[in-house]
Amino acid sequence: MKKALVLFADGSEELEAVTVINILRRGGIDVTVAGLTSGPLRGSRGTVLVPDTTLDSALAQEYDLIVLPGGLPGADHLRDDARVAGLLRKMRDAGRYVSAICAAPSVLAQAGLLDGKRATCYPGALDDFPAVQLQTAAVVEDGNLITSRGPGTAMDFSLTLLERLAGKATRDKVETGLVR
């Protein structure tokens, strides 16, 4: 079974996180939600989520995909955490999927993963990173890097992630069940 890790910090965009978690689980992916700190965390819109584990505990496992939801100040907390940057580089170097949505592609850029790569984000989130080949599509893939624009593209982003991990037939089955 494929495994995905969704990171969540205080101030992360809960719509993006929950959409990814829900769609991947519908498709049979083993999803772990890891908080940067222990206990319940408040999202950018005030929704409280209780992660499955902490990032420290999650680091002991291997994953096929890592997902960074956006939202502020959540993306800033992810960007400022050295454990996150190290994990992102490790995932990239192992040829695994690394993904981010909304403001979180800036976390990938700060960690050096987007230099010379195509990516998308919430408008303005990558303005400080001129080495990124900025695109405006809802979802942009460059090798095993997958980025998306924001809460409005969370469903497309999630279904793309599911397709990469479980194939088009699984994506189509889940998408049909959503009555989209």
- Express each pLDDT in 60-80 by its tens digit: 999 999 999 999 999 999 999
DSSP string, the chain: --EEEEEE-TT--HHHHHHHHHHHHHTT-EEEEEESSSS-EE-TTS-EE--SEEHHHHTTS--SEEEE---TTHHHHHHT-HHHHHHHHHHHHTT-EEEEETTTHHHHHHTTS-TT-EE--STTTTTT-TTSEE--SSEEEETTEEEE-SGGGHHHHHHHHHHHHH-HHHHHHHHHHTT-
pLDDT (tens digit per residue) in 2-18: 999 999 999 999 999 99
- pLDDT score of 141: 98
Residue 144 has a pLDDT of 98
Homologous superfamily of domain range 3-172: Class I glutamine amidotransferase (GATase) domain (3.40.50.880)
Residues 6+ apart with CB under 8 A from 83: 55, 56, 59
Contact assessment for residue 44 and residue 11, using Cβ atoms and an 8 Å cutoff: yes
Low-confidence stretches of the chain (pLDDT < 70) are none
Residue 173 structure tokens:
């089955």
Domain boundaries, the chain: 3-172
Active site residues: 102
pLDDT score at 15: 98
Predicted pLDDT of residue 136: 96
Q: Is the pTM of this model over 0.85?
A: yes
Can you spell out the DSSP letters for 26-66?
Answer: HTT-EEEEEESSSS-EE-TTS-EE--SEEHHHHTTS--SEE
